[in-house]
A and B are shown apart, each in its own frame.
Chain A
Amino acid sequence: MTDTTEKAAAPPAPGPAVPGPAPAPRTARLWRGATPWLFLLAPLTLLIVFTYAPIANMVAYSFTDWDGVSPELHYTGAGNYTELFTRSDLFEVFWVSGYYLAASVVQIVAALYFATVLSFNVRFRNFFKGVLFFPYLINGVAIGFVFLYFFQDGGTLDSVLSLFGVHTDRAWLGTPASANTSLAAVSVWRYLGLNFVLFLGAIQSIPGELYEAAELDGANRRHQFRHIIAPGIKPVLSLTVILSISGSLSVFEIPYIMTGGATGTETFVIQTVKLAFQFNKTGLASAAAVVLLLIVLAVTWVQRRLVPDDKVDLV
């Protein structure tokens, strides 16, 4: 966007001098030109040192066999990338993301349902709102322990099932399929509240007259949802979709805390952390991280193309 408004403290613009309060002397003008940079000094330094420098280094490491410690490193070309894509055990972690992707579909649908329901007049509305959102605020390690106990043999889930006369001998975290499903369910439990609150905010920002007008025209709840709510929350919905995809690819906490990545629950980030910090394969880990980063950027790019919604830019 172009700056159409003349902002205060505009530095001397090129071309005709801006008519302003008393022409400033040269040093004062220099000082003024430097002012925004003085404000940006700390933020930009942090941004470059802790975001861009790592990205650049990571790309560089990804073409080497560096172990993260020794002063020696050798350029290996695309070797790490070929290893990543040809060794099936390394690539397997991507399938685990599938469980979390499926879980995010469930999560988005449920969040949408509850947000719609609770945006109308419902008894104990604030209580239900609070209950649904609260898990999002809980410490990840605590959640991990709560659910380790939940899925344990003779733990919460088994106790509940036995109330209904179902006695399972299942180790919920015992086989890859059931463990991943359980873990993905935990992530629905944890993150549903965030999506819910985002949707709720978007629905409530839709002016109330729209519903009234629709009701006069004889629209029922389902019509209202399709023609008023759905278009009204489209931007938030598309944001949620990207967050879910990049979230599903970068799952770390819950599986790391609960299973440590055992029984086929290792995710991409767990694998990368292990490669880098346990097996000292910084080069290979970097290549993996570059691949993940590229996937996330690609997803975001596709979403921006599909849903051109440019209320998002900073200026």
Chain B
Amino acid sequence: MTRRTVARTLMYASLIAATVVVLLPPAAVVLTSLKSEREMANGSGALALPDDLLNLSNYATAFQDGRMLPAFANTAVILLLAIGGTVLIGSMTAYAIDRFTFRFKKPVVALFLVAALVPGVTTQVATFQIVNSLGMFDSIWAPVVLYMGTDIVSIYIFLQFVRSIPVSLDEAARLDGANAFTIYRRIIFPLLKPAIATVVIVKGITTYNDFYIPFLYMPSEDLGVISTSLFRFKGPFGAHWETISAGAVLVILPTLIVFLFLQRFIYNGFTKGATR
């Protein structure tokens, strides 16, 4: 064997090892979710195959008792509003900052920039009081406005794209009598489609997975989203790992499907989003 073959073998070995490390913990959970209560009690190991590979009864239990349907519905509503809002707000901010010169432009830009440095978790103690005083505590509006209001990353993504749209387009429209709003609506916004796709994906995934904000701001059970419903689900089922596992798999599944279909866009989205 030459040195090169040794190096290649080691490299593949490392990749396979990483694959096992990544896939094994969720795979064990999938196996467990298919086992019956009796099988679990008999103490078969986590890696043993279930007797019946098509035993979906735990999923039915998790779906019903874990109140997954309302959780998915609440999540969907929040996603829709928060993403819609983020797209509008981000694109408007980017348009205003890139296409206009106005007084106090620099301080305004600085406000957005500095906000990007403040980690959201640090300010929640005080944000809570504000959300509360606005009467939004324990309603879906709290997460919606919080997701909309603090998203500097999407503003930045939009800004990159607005900058790449030639100003001559705006000028041509202006000569035809279009005002700033018409230009934004008819020219800028439609040309931002790739940026919108990026923001929708990145924002969608982070919103779907967020736990902290719904946990703090929507304590009532009716307002459970995916994360909080799954979290509460553990209580009544204590050590019933077969049911808890089914719940976890139910939550992971949509992400997996979206990922498989949109892989390329997701990678790009995160690269654009994070390397500000």
| Residues of A in contact with B (beta carbons under 8 Å apart) | 3, 5, 7-11, 13, 21, 32-33, 35-37, 39-40, 42-44, 46-55, 57-58, 61, 68, 110, 113-114, 117-118, 122-123, 126, 128-142, 145-147, 149-150, 152, 154-156, 158-160, 162-163, 189, 194, 197-198, 200-202, 235-236, 239, 243, 246, 250, 252-253, 257, 269, 272-273, 276-277, 282, 285-286, 289, 292-293, 296-297, 300, 312-315
Contact = CB atoms under 8 A, between A and B. Distances in A.
Interface in B54-111: 88-90, 92-93, 95-102, 105-106, 108-109, 111
Nearest to B270: A197
A246 B119 contact: yes
A282 B125 CA distance: 7
A46 B15 contact: no
Contact of B127 (A50, A114, A147, A300): A50
26 contacts: A5-B167, A9-B174, A33-B102, A35-B179, A36-B102, A43-B92, A46-B148, A46-B150, A54-B123, A54-B124, A114-B15, A137-B255, A139-B252, A141-B226, A141-B230, A142-B252, A156-B24, A163-B47, A189-B22, A252-B212, A273-B216, A296-B119, A314-B97, A314-B156, A314-B159, A315-B105
A122 B15 contact: yes
Given A43-B89, A131-B18, A154 B46 contact: yes
Nearest to A155: B46
A46 B108 contact: no
Contacts of B205: 137
Contacts of A43: 89-90, 92-93, 155
Given A117-B15, A150-B25, A239-B275, A39 B95 contact: yes
Contacts of A8: 99, 167, 170-171, 174, 183
B110 to A, nearest CB: 9
B120 to A, nearest CB: 9
Q: Is the interface of A mostly helix, strand, loop or mixed?
A: helix
Contacts of A9: 99-100, 170, 174, 180, 183
A197 B271 contact: yes
A137 B202 CA distance: 10
Contacts of B89: 42-43, 46
Nearest to B180: A35
A53 B14 CA distance: 49
Given A53-B130, A198-B271, A134 B248 contact: no
B271 to A, nearest CB: 4
